[in-house]
Amino acid sequence: MIATVRRINLVLDRLLYVGTAASALAFFAVAVAAIAARSIATWPFYSSVELSRLFFVWSCFLAAVLAYRKQAHVGFTLLFDRVPARWRCRITAFNYLLILGFMAVVFVQSILVCRLLWPTVLPILGISQAWFYVPVPILCLCMFSYTAEFIAGLPQPSAGEGCA
């Protein structure tokens, strides 16, 4: 089971890297094109505001998932480092359960928001405003999968003790 989750997560890693790079590059390209259009060609690139915001939101959410995967988010471990080792594993497991619960709530609510906003369109691009919110359920699904792997990788408690 865990081997399957790890394989899925490796595929997710690749997709997220490609998606983050593509959306960040698209954001940069739109910004440069908008500047060039206004400076050199003296015509406004009207859709640049909507496009750049859309690509920026996507790159931020996809990059946040990658940071979570690498466990590279900023954290305060001053108190955690002072807790006995047997309690650290329990606290970490409890933290992962809280993350799963929070992601479940965010997932459900983000689907509701996407469904609510789907009929509304951006004035210049003419696409649904829900595209700004679509990365949120994607983030949640990826975090579910990554957290499942993190939980499976926790040390198992020894007989009569906490975590090894």
Give me the domain span that covers residue 69: 2-152
Q: CA angle 53-69-59, nearest 5°? A: 10
Q: What pLDDT is recorded for position 150?
A: 94
Local structure of 128: helix, strand or coil: strand
Amino acid (one-letter) located at 57: V
86 within a domain of the structure (yes/no): yes
158 within a domain of the structure (yes/no): no
Per-residue pLDDT tens digits of the chain, which is 164 residues long: 788 999 999 999 999 999 999 999 999 999 999 988 888 877 888 888 899 999 999 999 999 999 999 988 777 778 888 888 888 888 999 999 999 999 999 999 999 999 999 999 999 999 999 999 999 999 999 999 999 999 998 887 665 555 65
Q: What pLDDT is recorded for position 2?
A: 83
Domain count for the chain: 1
C-alpha span between 76 and 124 (Å, rounded): 43
38 within a domain of the structure (yes/no): yes
Q: Scanning the structure block, which residue is given the tokens 């690498």?
A: 70
15 within a domain of the structure (yes/no): yes
Q: What pLDDT is recorded for position 76?
A: 73
Q: What pLDDT is recorded for position 47?
A: 86
C-alpha span between 96 and 89 (Å, rounded): 11
By the 10 Å C-beta count (0-12 exposed, 13-18 middle, 19+ buried), 133 is classed as buried
By the 10 Å C-beta count (0-12 exposed, 13-18 middle, 19+ buried), 81 is classed as exposed
Q: What pLDDT is recorded for position 163?
A: 63
103 within a domain of the structure (yes/no): yes
C-alpha span between 65 and 146 (Å, rounded): 9
157 within a domain of the structure (yes/no): no
85 within a domain of the structure (yes/no): yes
159 within a domain of the structure (yes/no): no
